[in-house]
Every structure is written in C-alpha cells, then in structure tokens.
Chains A and B, each alone.
Chain A
Amino acid sequence: MSSPPLLQIRDVETFYGKIQALRGITLDVHEGEIVTLIGANGAGKSTLMMTICGDPRARSGQIVYDGRDITRLPTHEIMRLRISQSPEGRRIFPRMTVNENLLMGAAVADPEHFEEDAARAFELFPRLKDRKDQRGGTLSGGEQQMLAIARALMARPKLLLLDEPSLGLAPLVVKQIFEVIKELNEKQGLTVFLVEQNAYHALKLAHQGHVIVNGKITMSGTGAELLAREEVRAAYLEGGAH
C-alpha cells in the first residue's frame, strides 16, 4: 500500500443548484481493492459516483486518477482513461442487441480487441452468450445487470465504478453478481469502487468500506470492521443478513 492510490478524492463538494449534495468527501481507492460506499437514499452515493465522472462537476476539491487531476475534464474524456461505469438502473440500450450493447461498451477501446473481450465477457456471464442476438430490452433484470457490467468491462478498465448493481434484483441473482465482482477483483486484479444500499453483501466483499450520511463520510474501515460495528448493523442491516 505504499504506492499512491489509483483514485484520490479530496474534499469534494458538489451542488445541485443551491443544494449541497456532497459536503467535503475524502477517500482513496487503492489499486487492486474493492472499495464500498454504503448509505441510505439521498445520502449522496450516486452523486459521488457521478462527480467522479464529471457530471455534475465538483464545485471544490480535487479528484486525482492515476496521478492525473481529472476534476475538470469533460465526461467522455474521463471515461477514456480506462475508468468504466455501470450506471445506476443499468441503462443498457433496450432496442439494441446484446452484441451491439457490448460493441458500444468497446467504443473507446481498440476495435481489434473486440472479439477477444466479448469472448471473455461471455465466459464471465454465459447467459449473455445464449442471448447475444436478443435485444437488451427483452432480457430479465439480472441479465440486464450482467450486460451492464459486461459492457463496462469492454473498455478494458483499470477502475470499475459500479452504481447499485443489486438494484431491484432477486437475492439469488444479487449473490451471483457479487460473486462475479469478487472474481474479477481476485483473478484479474480489477479495482472496483462499489456504491450500494445492500450493505451486507457489499461490505462482505470490500477491502475498504465507507458510510455516507447527508453528503459526509461518517465511518470508514475495512469491510469486516464496518460489518461488526453496532451503528452500521442498526442503520443498514436491520432485519439481519439475507
């Protein structure tokens, strides 16, 4: 951990008009780690994710990725620095086929790699292979989430940003998705920044965890530490593990 973090977020403040959504966020994502951010609705989880991508832009503070200040870069240029995002609500292209969705994901990558990367994505999610010529909109919710992740991987990212991958999915599918994330991290060394409401799964998986409340980080620690904390259990794990 002596090398500088892959992603450094320093005192970032973001506003929607007059309303302040992020009140000075500071956190690091080290290479090869899974870092999880948990929080309730409206705490600012997705805003932080979007601020990293430059939309909305941080009003103050600094975001440094791979030694480069990306705070003021336009969104599409940020996404070309091998940061990939699987946005909240999946946002796959419903009228385009699975193949075409993957092709869109590879838009910023070298087209030469497409076949190879697509094969790898299908290996990761065999269900997508069966449906490769089917339209995105006809897939089930879980398959759409798999497609969203596969699409994000097509750009060969160093850093994968996942915004609520478990949103609206059946528990069994959620488990499957998180297993894949773990596998990507362990086998390929992919760095993952994960934003979740599903605190149990997300923290179990995480090397580092942070809790965000009203635009501020209130607790940090390793995933296991946070899981053991009484406040976390009370606020985010009511009803126990599922």
Chain B
Amino acid sequence: MAEATQTGTGAGGGLELAEIGKDLAITALLGAAIFGSTIAFKTETATGGLSLVLRFEEAFFVIAAVVIGRLILLLTVWRRPGGTDRTFVPQALQTRYTEFLAKTGKAFVPIVLLFAVVFPFLPFTDRYLLDLGILILTYVMLGWGLNIVVGLAGLLDLGYVAFYAVGAYSYALLAQYFGLSFWICLPLAGILAAFWGIILGFPVLRLRGDYLAIVTLAFGEIIRIVLLNWYEFTGGPDGLSGIPRPSFFGIPFKRGEGGFADFFGLDYSSIHRIIFLYFLILVLALITNFVTIRLRRLPIGRAWEALREDEIACRSLGLNTVSIKLTAFATGAMFAGFAGSFFATRQGFISPESFTFIESALILAIVVLGGMGSQIGVVIASVAMIGGFEIFREAEQYRMLIFGLAMVMIMIWRPRGLISTREPSIFLKEKKSVSADMVAQGEGH
C-alpha cells in the first residue's frame, strides 16, 4: 500500500502540482464569491437605520481556511494514483473501506452476536436501551424476512407490512376469541401470514419489477384498510387491547406466588419480562437468519437467486417459476407473521396505525441499505436506521431530512448497499467472494 502511494507521487508529481494549483484557485474564487458577500459585509442596526460594517479581514481568513483545508484534503484523502478514473468518491477511501471490512469481517459476526446475547446484562443497559434493542431486533427480523423476497428472489415487495399486520392480528384475535396462548398462536400466525403470502403471490405471478411493486403496495393498503373498517371483527381504528403477555413457557411474569421471579427464587422486577422479550425476539430473529442461510444452500434458495438474476433463463432450465415465487412470498410472509405476533404480545395493544406504508418503506430501506441479500448488512442497517432515529429524536422534524441525506450519501458511496458482496453458496475447492464492484451496475435485468 505504502509502496503504491510512493510510486504514484513520483510518476505524476509535476502534473499534479499544476492541477492542485488550478483546483485551489477555483476554490479561492468560489470561496470569495460565497464568503465575500456573506461575511465581508455586515449590516448593523444603528441610530437612524442600518449601517454597513466591512469585515474583509475575517472573510479573508475564512477563505484561506477553506483553501488550506482543501489543500490538505487534496494531499491526503483525495489523492489517487495517476491514471485511475475520477470517481465522485475518493479512491483511497474506497479501498481503505474494503480493506477494513475484509479484516474485521471475519470477527465481526461473532462479536455482534456475543454483544447481542450479553447486552441485557451489561451495567449501562437500562429499560430504555433494552426497549430500543427489542425494537432494533424486530426490524432485523423483518429485514431478514423481507430479504428472502427482495434480496434473494428479487421480487420488489412494497407491502411487506401487510404480513406483519396479519401476524399481529392473528395472535391478538386468536387470543381474544379462543383464549389460545402465545406459544400456540406463534406458529399459527406464521402459517396464516404465509397463506396470505400465497394469496398475494397468485395474482402477481406474471408481474415483475415496478408493476409488482405497485400491486404489493396496493395489497399492503388493502389489508390496512380492511383492518380499519371491519369494526365488529378487528375493532377498527380503536385497535385491539388487552392482548395477553407471553409467559415463560407457561410461567407468567407476575408478582407473588407462581410468578417467574417466585419460581426461580428471584426478587420480582418488571425488567424480567422485558429481558425475556428481548431474548424471545433475538431467538426468533436468529431462527429467521439460520433458516435463510440454510435455504440459500438448498436448491430452492439457489432457485430464488437464479430467479432474481434471470427469470427466462430459469424457465429454460426447467424450473417452475410459479412455485419458486410462491415459496419465496410464503417464506418471507411467514417470518413477518412471527414478528407480527411478537409485536402484538410486546405492545399489548395493536391498531392499524402501526401498519402503515411507512413501515414497509422502512423495512425495505433497511434491506436495500444493508445490501440486498446480505444478512449482516440488514443488522448494520437496522442499527443505523432505528438507532439513528433515536439519536436524532432531539432534532424532531429535521430527523427525516437527516436520514434522507444519509441515505443519499450511502447510495452514492455504496450503490449496492453497505455489504454488497455475495457469498457463493457452493464451492468446489476454497471460498472466494467477488466484490460487486467488479460487476457492472444494472447487470442481470
């Protein structure tokens, strides 16, 4: 690395100097145009009107600071070896980023997992952080579920939240009408959501890309509006309340005799239930991840990926694209159903308001930001998005603006998401992954 930099300087020394000079002159001009007008002249209220104060010295210092700052950037971060293409993003940053990822990549996953497991017991973890952790994990799970549909099978689904809603309402209604426990309802909610996934899948089998996105968007809205208007069954806008809390495999989290704390000889604390919920969603999310990773190595998972790459080629190889699409929809929907019933039991109250389009958009943003098809990418994106929302809670209405900006920046820097490498699912000899940068943008459509 150091060697390469040195050669770069030696080869293009003279030329670079001229270029830097030109660049700095333009910077100075631009600086003068901006700061000359804004800083050099200042109006002050004086007796009898406004008076103009001239501040040429300050303006000069600001412009000089800008020029020097740019010079430093040019000499360090922005320097690229001669002959390489000019990109919007500094080359040095790109390679350094890739190197960093390659080095930390191997240790990263176990560290994150370990952190997730010990997180509830860390000294600084309070109720607020634990709730945030649960929220992030819920989105990780939803992101992983949607990753099957969007990332692997390449079916753009804008109505994913519908299955989340089906899961949540399944549990709430089954518990309300039949008094079934969470542990019975959880698989039922998954099955029902998968069933709805197939129902959605059938009419949209012939659609792809934008058209599919619009129909799934409509489907998401239909589910929400039905929930909103079917007052007798779903409670409409009032929602459903008093949804039973989960028990620790039959032992309720309550004070006194027979409760969780009593059974294990602990002092009663309301945090026990929260910690339990945390581990519940952690396990659910990990199951989602595990199943996805296993499926990717099976023929069906490979068929999903092949479908994403080229549907016509799939058909010409004798694959039944109908069943491939339906299984992708159903599997993705099933995990949303699980997550939905978890959401219902955690909140204790659900209403159609929790299942608006913005939720679908957020989950999709997590998948795209993380890098479609990348499992760890979803985790990073969830932490960044949901955690970021919390950090910028102070900024209130600017929050969305900041996020919009951050998304744009990331899409410029990493157009295929944070983790854009696709690990091959089979190897004859040794592992070798190829960066997405080596494949031209937009290939495979």
User: A residues bordering B, Cβ < 8 Å?
Assistant: 53, 55, 74-80, 84-85, 87, 91-97, 99-100, 103-105, 107-108, 118, 132-135, 137-138, 151-152, 155
Does A107 lie within 8 Å of B426, measured CB to CB?
A: no
Find chain B residues with CB under 8 A from A151 CB: 317
Report whether over half of chain A's contact residues are helix, strand or loop; otherwise say mixed: mixed
Shortest Cβ distance from residue A126 to the other chain B in the assembled complex, whole angstroms: 15
Subset of 12 A-B contacts with CB under 8 Å: A76-B318, A80-B318, A84-B317, A91-B310, A93-B310, A95-B439, A100-B425, A107-B318, A132-B428, A133-B430, A134-B434, A152-B317
User: B residues bordering A, Cβ < 8 Å?
Assistant: 299, 302-303, 305-306, 308-310, 312-321, 422, 424-430, 432, 434, 436, 438-440, 443-444
Shortest Cβ distance from residue B294 to the other chain A in the assembled complex, whole angstroms: 16
CA distance A135 to B426 in the complex (A): 12
Find chain A residues with CB under 8 A from B315 CB: 53, 55, 75-76, 79
Given A76-B318, A99-B424, the answer on whether A93 and B306 have CB atoms closer than 8 Å is yes
Does A79 lie within 8 Å of B424, measured CB to CB?
A: no
CA distance A140 to B430 in the complex (A): 23
CA distance A76 to B303 in the complex (A): 13
Find chain B residues with CB under 8 A from A75 CB: 315-316
Does A92 lie within 8 Å of B434, measured CB to CB?
A: no
Does B444 lie within 8 Å of A104, measured CB to CB?
A: no
Does B316 lie within 8 Å of A100, measured CB to CB?
A: no
CA distance A158 to B253 in the complex (A): 66
Given contacts A133-B430, A137-B439, 8 further A-B contacts (CB under 8 A): A75-B315, A92-B313, A94-B309, A96-B302, A100-B425, A105-B317, A108-B319, A135-B438
Nearest chain-B residue to A78 (Cβ)?
B318
Find chain B residues with CB under 8 A from A138 CB: 434, 438-439
Find chain B residues with CB under 8 A from A99 CB: 424, 426-428
Find chain B residues with CB under 8 A from A92 CB: 310, 313
Does A104 lie within 8 Å of B439, measured CB to CB?
A: no
Find chain B residues with CB under 8 A from A74 CB: 320
CA distance A113 to B424 in the complex (A): 21
Find chain B residues with CB under 8 A from A85 CB: 316
CA distance A95 to B318 in the complex (A): 20
Find chain A residues with CB under 8 A from B426 CB: 97, 99-100, 103
Find chain A residues with CB under 8 A from B314 CB: 104
B305, B309, B313, B318: residue with the most chain A Cβ atoms closer than 10 Å: B318
B313, B314, B428, B436: residue with the most chain A Cβ atoms closer than 10 Å: B313
Shortest Cβ distance from residue A49 to the other chain B in the assembled complex, whole angstroms: 10
Shortest Cβ distance from residue B385 to the other chain A in the assembled complex, whole angstroms: 25
Find chain B residues with CB under 8 A from A79 CB: 315-318
Find chain B residues with CB under 8 A from A96 CB: 302, 305-306, 309, 424
Candidates A77, A91, A118, A137; contact of B316 at CB < 8 Å: A91
A93, A94, A138, A151: residue with the most chain B Cβ atoms closer than 10 Å: A93
Find chain B residues with CB under 8 A from A155 CB: 317-318
Given A79-B316, A95-B422, A99-B424, the answer on whether A107 and B305 have CB atoms closer than 8 Å is no
Does B316 lie within 8 Å of A104, measured CB to CB?
A: no
